[in-house]
Structure 1
Amino acid sequence: MALRGWARTWAGGSVSTAVARLNARHPWSHNDWFHGWILANLPEQRRAALDVGCGQGGLVAALAPHFGRVVGNDADPAMAREAAARCRGAANVSVEDGAWTDVRGPFDLVTMVAVLHHLDVPTALAEVRELLAPGGRFLAVGLAQSQSVTDHVWDAASILTNPAIGFVLHPWPAREGVRPPPYPVREPTMTYDELHGHVTAAMPGATMRHRLAFRHTIEWTRPS
């Protein structure tokens, strides 16, 4: 986060303001962009899937054609209602609010997109492990504090590519300007390396990688 903080104040903040205006003219969802990565890494067994923190239900809707049963869960009742309305036509989809740990498994897929840093990480990873069926897969897209040189290199790459990706995905300038996200936003407190330590301890063999859009991905398959 240090590089991002420096970028916001450099040259009196004028450069950061100009970039923010450019991004607002060509907006894109950093989280939704990773739905394709999730769909490309689905498990072979596809009986049931759980999307934790499903928000407006975009990923739930995308998973519905691939699984016999899909459950979306969001602690925010308003978000859960919106997701349920979005998926009303899918008979194999259900959306719940309340505690995601109370959802009945097992699941062949558990997903989290920009959710893990809202939770107690060790506890959440242990809960995911228990919810997964043998051979089930955990796919997460997350955020972490930047600390190492590698973290800052990826931050720099994200800052530079963010406007270009926005222009490709949203070539026509938006008229509404900067709009607040419809879901709760929380800055991560754990560094990438700290999170990596928790992931490898709870899920031996998991793959965690830096990505553009200030994100990282986690992939783990529960042993059969």
Structure 2
Amino acid sequence: MDIRTTPNPVIRRAERALHRLNARHPWDHNAHFHRWVLRSLPPGAARVLDVGCGRGDLVRALAGRVAQVDGIDPDPRMALVAAERCRDLDGVAIRRRGLAAHAETLRAEGTGGHYDALTMIASLHHMELEPALAQARDLLRPGGRLLVVTLTVPRTRLGLLWDIGDALSNPLIGLVKHPRPVRDPVPGPSIPVQDPAWSHEELRERSREILPGAVLHRREGFRSTLRWQKPI
């Protein structure tokens, strides 16, 4: 049973109550992992690619740590918003394209395989899994790191229990991060959303051959993280 989609009336009432509490004490599930990304950058990282950069929040955070940040997003509106928000930053380039197109462009230019790190926050599940992981792998230099934060769907008993724990802890994290209730929220540019197609276990299994030795963890906020370093 997936508690996110089950028609069970008790669960749906509980969901509505949690949703009201979450709306009063919201927190950004993606920005929550920016510190993990920054801590996980390889030493001396100089060039990073952020895939699915959205509004450019992580790009801005990375720009304070590395000399060159490339942000890509296939959504025209998101790419425009990110470009506007990052126009004051040196060493930042925002392009409206997806990962496959970016990889193909760099291959044609003969400049592939040169990123010190490649980041994906809530963007991997918008792509075909195996091709995206392979493209990310090939864009990294030897010793470069792939850092992924992705949504997953629960398909095992452990996955379901973790999902329930996330649902219950979500408003508590919101209370800590945003203790003052929001009464008149100001909407920002909406980010395209898509439901995940794989579970944490499926992600581990399907990434095994492409990214041998990748480290995966279940995380808060209905997320999983994947960290992989390209062999030298």
TM range (shorter): over 0.9
Secondary structure of 1:201's aligned partner: coil
What per-residue deviation string (whole Å, max 9, x for no partner) do you get for residues 96-148 of structure 1?
00233343342001000111111010000110111000000000000111111
Gaps of 5+ in 2: 107-111
Contact 1:9 1:16 in 2 (8 A): no
- List, as ranges, runs of 4+ consecutive aligned residues in structure 1 with deviation greater than 4 Å: 177-181
How big is the shift at 1:204? 0.3
State how far apart, in whole Å, the 2-side matches of 1:210 and 1:143 are. 10
Q: What is the match of residue 143 of structure 1?
A: 151
Per-residue deviation, 1:62: 0.3
User: Secondary structure of the equivalent of 1:183?
Assistant: coil
1:39 maps to 2:47: no
Per-residue deviation, residues 172-211 of structure 1 (Å, max 9, x unmatched): 1112369697111111122221111111111000001100
Counterpart-to-counterpart distance in 2, 1:172 and 1:69: 37
SS in 2 for 1:88: coil
- What is the CA–CA distance in structure 1 between the aligned matches of 2:15 and 2:186, rounded to whole Å? 14
Give % identity.
Answer: 42
Name 1:155's counterpart in structure 2. Answer: 163
Relative to 1, partners in 2 of residues 1:81 and 1:181: Cα closer, same or farther, differing over 3 Å? closer
**Contact 1:10–1:16 (Cα < 8 Å) also in 2:** no
For normalisation by structure 2, the TM-score amounts to 0.90
2:78 is the counterpart of 1:79: yes
Contact 1:117–1:189 (Cα < 8 Å) also in 2: yes
Instruction: Report the TM-score, using the length of structure 1 for normalisation.
Output: 0.93
Report 1:67-106 matches (<5 A): 67-103=66-102, 104=106, 105=112, 106=114
1:204 is aligned, of 190, 206, 212, to 212
Structure 2 counterpart of 1:112, one-letter code: M
CA spacing shift, 1:201–1:84, aligned 2, 3 Å: same
Q: Give me the CA root mean square deviation.
A: 1.9
Equivalent residue number for residue 228 of structure 2: 220
Indicate the larger mover: 189-198 or 163-172.
189-198
1:9 maps to a residue whose letter is: N
